Amino acid sequence: MTKPAPPVATTSDLDTAVAAAHHRYRSRRPVSAAADERARRVLPGGNTRSVLDFEPFAFRVASAAGAELVDVDGHRYVDFCGNYTAGLLGHSPAPVRAAVTEALDRGWTLGAMHEAEIELAELVCARFPSIEQVRFTNSGTEANLMAIGTALHHTGRRGVGVFDHAYHGGVLGFGDVDGPHHPLNVPHRFRVAPFDDVDALDAFFARSGDDGDDDVGCVLVEPVQGSGGCRPASLDFLRALRRRCDEAGALLIFDEVMTSRLAPGGAQERFDITPDLTTLGKYLGGGLSFGAFGGRRDVLAAFDGRAGGTLTQAGTFNNNIASMSAAVATLRHELSPERIREVNERGDRLRDDLGIVFDRADAGMWVTGMGSMMNIHTGDDRLLDLLFHHLLDDGIYVARRGFIALSIEIGDDECDRLVTSTRRWVERRAGAPLRGTPT
Ligand X SMILES: Cc1ncc(COP(=O)(O)O)c(C=O)c1O
List interacting residues with ligand X (CB under 6 A): 84, 139-141, 144, 167-169, 222, 226-227, 255, 257-258, 281, 291
**Of residues 168 and 242, the one with the C-beta less far from ligand X:** 168
CB environment 328-365: b (16+ within 10 A), e (fewer): bbbbebbbeeeebeebbebbeebbebbbebbeebebbb
Q: How far is the CB of 357 from ligand X (least distance, A)?
A: 26
Structural element, H or E, at residue 269: helix 267-271
Alpha carbons 327 and 343: distance in angstroms, whole number: 19
Q: How far is the CB of 146 from ligand X (least distance, A)?
A: 12
To the nearest whole angstrom, how small is the minimum distance from the Cβ of residue 226 to ligand X? 4
**Residue 28 is which amino acid?**
R
Give me the residue whose beta carbon is nearest to ligand X: 140
Q: Which is nearer to ligand X, 10 or 139 (CB)?
A: 139
Residue among 7 and 226 whose Cβ is closer to ligand X: 226
**Minimum distance of ligand X from residue 435's CB (angstroms):** 33
CB 377 within 8 A of CB 365: yes
* Cross-strand partners of 69: 64, 77
Q: Which is nearer to ligand X, 146 or 386 (CB)?
A: 146
Q: How far is the CB of 220 from ligand X (least distance, A)?
A: 9
Phi, psi dihedral angles at 232 (to 5 degrees): -75, 140
Locate all alpha helices (DSSP H) within 280-411, ordered by sequence: 297-300, 321-329, 337-360, 381-393
Q: From residue 295, how far is each of 152, 354, 437 by CA, in Å?
A: 14, 37, 55
Strand 68-71 relative to strand 61-65, pairing: antiparallel
* Closer Cβ to ligand X, 130 or 227, answer by number: 227
9/398 with CB nearer ligand X? 398
CB of 343 to ligand X, least distance (A): 17
Angstrom distance (rounded) from CA 332 to CA 183: 41
